[in-house]
Amino acid sequence: MTSSRPLRAPLRVLRLVASPNANHSESLKLSQQILFGLATEAGRRGIQLTDLDLNALAPVDASYAQALANQRIVTVSGRDSTLSRSNELIDQLQACDVLLIATPMHNYSVPAPLKMWIDQVVRVGKTFVGTAKGKVGKLTDRPVYVAIASGGHISGPQARQPDFLRPYLSAVLATIGLTQVHYFSVEGTAKGGESLSTGRATGYGDVQAFFGRQSCRVGQV
């Protein structure tokens, strides 16, 4: 479903911003580190970044919900309808080479704005089909990078809470055909101070190790 493009065309990165914290967002800052890594990887191609603030999305409307529930072929019923918005979001997703998701953990899982995006791009007949063996994704696979910020810990021996965010996101992205999902996290932000510094150092270090670089511009957004 991706179009053929010149080899030197910029790497098209679609970044989803799920935090309400604007430029103070830790997940956004972490995603910036991933962008530096992608820019290094892209080299002279460069990257073309499209930012989508998910906080501006509206919940799905009744006709969309009913159409999906009944698995009817749905038609656009108005420019402001969920269906029309869903078509735009799916086109935007199909047009990117790399999906980058900047998200906080909210109550052990994805925050509501990210869930609203998911509800509008995971669409029967459009981005996946139901078969006798289960749901099969229709999108061309491409890398997905997820930058998570969490107030507490979700990894290692300090984790004292369930993590539904990563398993859920992996499952729902696989439903539409996106299986190359890489997670990075800044954990322990709630305590601030040393805990936040350690969380950033660990998360940014993991990004640097992944992209094989020695120096990311820490803290720059």
Instruction: Choose between 89 and 186: whose C-beta lies nearer to ligand FMN.
Output: 186
Q: Which uninterrupted H or E stretch holds 93?
A: helix 82-94
**Half-sphere exposure of 185 toward its Cβ, with a 13 Å CA cutoff?**
19
Number of residues that bind ligand FMN (CB under 6 A): 18
* Residue 189 interacting with ligand FMN (CB under 6 A): yes
CA-CA distance, 1 to 42, in Å (whole number)? Answer: 21
With CB under 6 A as the contact rule, the residue among 50, 71, 107, 158 that binds ligand FMN is: 107
Cβ neighbours of 113 (radius 10 Å): 21
Contact in structure between 33 and 69 (CB atoms under 8 Å)? no
According to the annotation, is 19 in a ligand binding site? Answer: yes
CB of 158 to ligand FMN, least distance (A): 11
- Specify the DSSP class assigned to residue 71: T
According to the annotation, is 195 in a ligand binding site? Answer: no
* Residue 185 interacting with ligand FMN (CB under 6 A): no
What part of residues 118-177 is at the interface with ligand FMN (CB under 6 A)?
A: 149-152, 161
Site residues (vs ligand FMN, CB under 6 A): 19, 21, 25-28, 104-108, 149-152, 161, 189-190
